[in-house]
């Protein structure tokens, strides 16, 4: 398998992302194409412009967080308003698939993408692999004379009360992806039941 650039990967996946939403929504009248997209606004605009240049079809896009996209698509179940869902996390795609809100589509261009990054039935195809990490506010730490947390247990120190932020799993794809693993890891280190983390999904 030969290497492909991130730009080529993204271009192929935008073609493949038509698996995103039901056929009723994809077949919009008058050649209209509406995209629900998760990346930053500038990235969405660049991808939409590249699609227009290559296809001759001018799409419109709405930038949504993963939670917003799920809620909107659920609300539009009987009258889909978008054609393509692009750039939200795998847990959200799995949720939409389970809800029967995605149509399968296997883009020929996605043949070069490793199978582990694609749904075998064609309901989703990955665009990238991300990692989730924690960052410390150096200015805050310096002002308070604090040392940056070095462990999960450090996050429970009294001086950090009310100072730790995480996207809400109800609206944030990052929150959805990170909360259950955090809880599972914490529970396992404390000798508790890791299955309780599933209640956050």
Q: What is the pLDDT of residue 73?
A: 93
Phi/psi of residue 15, nearest 5 degrees: -65, -40
Tell which wins on pLDDT, 83 or 199: 83
* Same domain, residue pair 14 and 61: yes
Overall average pLDDT of the 1-28 stretch = 44
* Same domain, residue pair 106 and 196: no
* Same domain, residue pair 30 and 99: yes
Q: What is the pLDDT of residue 143?
A: 92
In angstroms, the CA 60 to CA 39 distance is: 15
Predicted model pTM: 0.65
Q: How confident is the model at residue 26 (pLDDT cuts 50, 70, 90)?
A: very low
Please indicate, yes or no, if residue 193 is contained in any of the structural domains: yes
In angstroms, the CA 99 to CA 75 distance is: 12
Q: What is the pLDDT of residue 30?
A: 56
Selection from 122, 101, 110 nearest residue 15 by Cα? 110
Selection from 131, 20, 14, 169 nearest residue 82 by Cα? 20
Q: What is the pLDDT of residue 41?
A: 93
Please indicate, yes or no, if residue 143 is contained in any of the structural domains: yes
pLDDT, tens only, 28-66: 555 678 999 988 899 999 989 988 888 888 899 999 988
* Same domain, residue pair 54 and 99: yes
Q: What is the pLDDT of residue 110?
A: 84
Asked if pLDDT for residue 24 goes beyond 50, the answer is no
- Compute CA distances 18 → 123, 159, 172, 179, whole Å: 9, 48, 22, 29
Helices (H), 76-172: 90-98, 138-144
* Same domain, residue pair 156 and 109: no
CA dihedral 136, 149, 92, 113 (to 10 degrees): 80
Please indicate, yes or no, if residue 16 is contained in any of the structural domains: yes
Highest mean pLDDT among 2-16, 29-43, 92-106, 150-164: 92-106
* The last residue of a domain, from among 53, 88, 117: 117
* The last residue of a domain, from among 82, 117, 152: 117
Number of structural domains (the chain) is 2
Q: How confident is the model at residue 197 (pLDDT cuts 50, 70, 90)?
A: very low
pLDDT, tens only, 120-134: 999 998 888 877 677
* Same domain, residue pair 101 and 193: no
Phi/psi of residue 164, nearest 5 degrees: -105, 125
Q: What is the pLDDT of residue 123?
A: 92
Least reliable range by pLDDT among 14-23, 43-52, 153-162: 14-23
Domain that holds residue 166: 138-200
Tell which wins on pLDDT, 51 or 201: 51
* Same domain, residue pair 100 and 162: no
Contact 121, 144 (CB under 8 A): no
Please indicate, yes or no, if residue 124 is contained in any of the structural domains: no
Where does residue 125 rank: exposed (0-12), middle (13-18), buried (19+ CB within 10 A)?
A: buried
Q: What is the pLDDT of residue 185?
A: 67
* Same domain, residue pair 34 and 82: yes
- Compute CA distances 176 → 21, 47, 61, 118, 126, whole Å: 21, 25, 23, 20, 17
Tokens coding 161: 């009360």
- Intra-chain end-to-end CA distance of the chain, in Å: 36
């Amino acid at each position: 398998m030969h290497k492909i650039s991130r730009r080529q990967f993204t271009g192929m996946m935008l073609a493949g992302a038509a698996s995103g939403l039901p056929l009723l929504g994809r077949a919009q009248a008058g050649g209209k194409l509406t995209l629900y997209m998760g990346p930053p606004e500038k990235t969405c605009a660049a991808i939409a412009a590249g699609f227009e240049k290559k296809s001759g079809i001018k799409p419109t896009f709405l930038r949504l967080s993963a939670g917003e996209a799920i809620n909107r698509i659920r609300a539009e179940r009987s009258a889909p308003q978008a054609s393509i869902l692009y750039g939200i996390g795998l847990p959200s795609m799995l949720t939409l698939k389970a809800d029967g809100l995605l149509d399968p589509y296997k883009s020929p261009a996605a043949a070069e993408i490793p199978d582990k990054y694609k749904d075998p039935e064609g309901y989703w195809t990955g665009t990238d692999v991300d990692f989730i990490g924690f960052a410390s506010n150096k200015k805050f730490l310096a002002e308070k004379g604090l040392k940056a947390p070095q462990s999960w247990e450090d996050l429970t120190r009294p001086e950090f009360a009310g100072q730790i932020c995480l996207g809400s799993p109800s609206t944030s794809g990052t929150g959805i992806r990170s909360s259950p693993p955090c809880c599972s890891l914490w529970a396992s280190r404390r000798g508790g039941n890791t299955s309780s983390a599933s209640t956050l999904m």
